[in-house]
Structure formats: structure tokens, C-alpha cells
Homo-oligomer: A and B are copies of this chain.
Amino acid sequence: MPPLDELLGHDIDTLQVTDEPQKLDPASIAERDTLMKRESGVTENSPMRLRMEEFIKEQQKEIVRELEKVDGKKFRVDTWTRESGGGGISSVLQDGNVFEKAGVNISVVYGTLPRPAIEKMRVNHKAIDPAVTSLDFFAAGLSMVLHPVNPMAPTVHLNYRYFETENPDGTSNAWWFGGGTDLTPSYLFDEDAIHFHKTMKEACDKHDKSYYPRFKKWCDSYFSNKHRGESRGVGGIFFDDLDEQEKDQENTFAFAQSCLKAFLPSYIPIIMKRKDMPYTEKEKEWQQIRRGRYVEFNLVHDRGTAFGLNTPSARVESILMSLPLTASWRYMYEPEKGSKEQRLVDVLREPKEWV
């Protein structure tokens, strides 16, 4: 099973997803989609499933191409398919010149939700018929984590996904978009945080002036190591369950596209500025401690990862590609007062407004 973790987003910790056909045959929509792609290609009139799949595939290629230019090394590409329809492509670069570990994955899932999962989903999506006993669904998303070698260069994470449930006749029922992009520095350069947030805000503002403030706040509250009283990083944007109660499908897709397309301009200038900065062994050690915190968030708090790992026959290597190549835990490690390390911790304890 491909990494459903981030794909299903907020609802997934409460879901039991199955590969087994229940009342309906989940392969049928997958088969219909395959046929449609083969016969007429993907156009503006195609179902959103096909348009989202095509969009994330293009974006994966473009991001991989740009990151290879930055790094000088090539990504390893693994492709897999699911028996019940769909599949994925994992692109991973390890031990690069610039990136210690970089993963850019897409996955596409055709599956069936059983009754308890349907009831949970109805809380956010009223279009879902409460009477059905099982429900076909489709999910497609791109997720990415980049861990650079240089401790002055920040880790970045991104995930955008589209989810829909199907009527018995194969037409789409409920649908929603979710996702986010967030930055996790070991050393804080204010200008980087400002540039990153500014780029995210511009992407949001084109669609709705209320989006950036709402989704910036949501990001700070989700990517939080609550047990440490710290945010994971300096945030960015995060949203989930964006459906027709908010805006129509066309506009919401356009918004998700803007967010994803904003990634390269938000991050490339930062990595170019930081990748060759000099650093000390002690600074590398601090980065390792911060990587430990990243592992803590992903394994303890991230609902997607927990869900993925508890899903039978999950593709563990794709789910855990988000973990850094190396991390460290030092007992009672305390940054010196007034140090750059302490400054980062102070900001993580009280998230700032950057734009």
C-alpha cells in the first residue's frame, strides 16, 4: 500500500481503509479512469481526479529537475502500482552534495472506506450520504521533505492532496483539498523566514485575502512538538478539508496549484544562499539535535505517519523517507544564553508574524 499518510490528511487517524472490494468494485473507477486517459488524454473537462494526478506528476518532475540542478546529483526513482488501482512514484536523493536526504513522492489511491470511517468523514463533509455502508474513494497527493547537509540551510516539507468519494454510479460525491508547506531551520535567518512566508502569502492572496492569516495560524498549531512546548519550525501554511462550503472546485484546485507552484520560488533562493556557508562541528551537532526534534514530531505527533505505519502492508520506506539521514538526542542539551541556538528556540516557543 502506498503512503496514505499525508494523502488523507486530517481525517486519517480515524480511518480504516481497506484494499478489499466490498459492496462496490473499487477497481471499476480506476479502470474507467485508465481508459479515459488512454482514449482522450487529460483536458480541462476531465474529472478532477485525472487533472490532479496530471498536475502533481508535472510538479514532481519540475521540482526534481530543479533540485538536481541545485545538488548536482540525481534522484533515485521507484515506481509502484496498487492492485486495486493507482500507484505512486518515489524520488529520493541521498548523500547528495547539498541534500543529505531529499524525497519527492506522489501517490494515487483508489480504495473503499468502511462505515465507521464514513461517519467520521461526514463531520466535515455533509455531501457524504449517511446511509451507505461503504464508499469508494480516490486520493492523490504530492509530498516532499528536503534535509540539506549544511546546518545553515533549512529543512522544508510540503504536501498537497486531493480527496474525493464516489457515488454508486461512479460520479464524484464529496471532494476536498488539503496541504501545506513549512520551513524548519536549525539556524534562523530572519530574511529567509520572511522571504518564505512572503512567497506563501502572495500565493494565498491571489485567491483569498483571508487564506494566509488563517492557514499560517493552522500551520503553527499543527506542526507543534507539544511535549517540548516548541513549534517544529518557523511554519508556513497548512489547511485541510477545503471543499464547496468554502469555494467551488475549480477555484480551490487553482488555489492548491498556486501553493504548490510557489514552492520553488519560496525555497530555491534560500538554499542557494545557505548551501555553501561555512559552519563548525558544533553547529553541525546542533543541526543533529534539531533533526532529532523533527523525528519526534513525525513519529509522535504526525497523524499521517502514525496512520500510515499502522496500516497493514503500508510502504514503510515511502512513509519514513521524511526522516533525516542522521539525528541525535543529547540528554539535557541546553543552548547557551544569548546564542544563535537559543534565539531559534525562543522563536519556536512563540511563533512570530513574518509578513
Show the binding face of A for B, using Cβ within 8 Å. Answer: 76, 78, 92, 94, 101, 103, 226-228, 288, 292, 295-296, 299-300, 306, 309-310, 314, 316-317, 320-321, 323-332
Contacts and interface: CB of A to CB of B under 8 A. Distances in A.
A243 B329 CA distance: 37
Query: Dominant SS at the A interface?
Result: mixed
Contacts of A76: 331-332
A297 to B, nearest CB: 10
A94 B331 contact: yes
Given A94-B331, A299-B300, A327-B327, 5 more contacts: A227-B314, A295-B295, A325-B328, A326-B327, A327-B328
Nearest to A305: B300
B317 A306 contact: no
A78 B296 CA distance: 23
Contact of A320 (B323, B325, B327, B329): B329
A236 to B, nearest CB: 23
A301 B29 CA distance: 36
Contact of A288 (B296, B300, B326): B326
A323 B292 contact: yes
Nearest to A288: B326
Given A299-B295, A299-B300, A332 B317 contact: yes
Contacts of A332: 76, 78, 92, 317
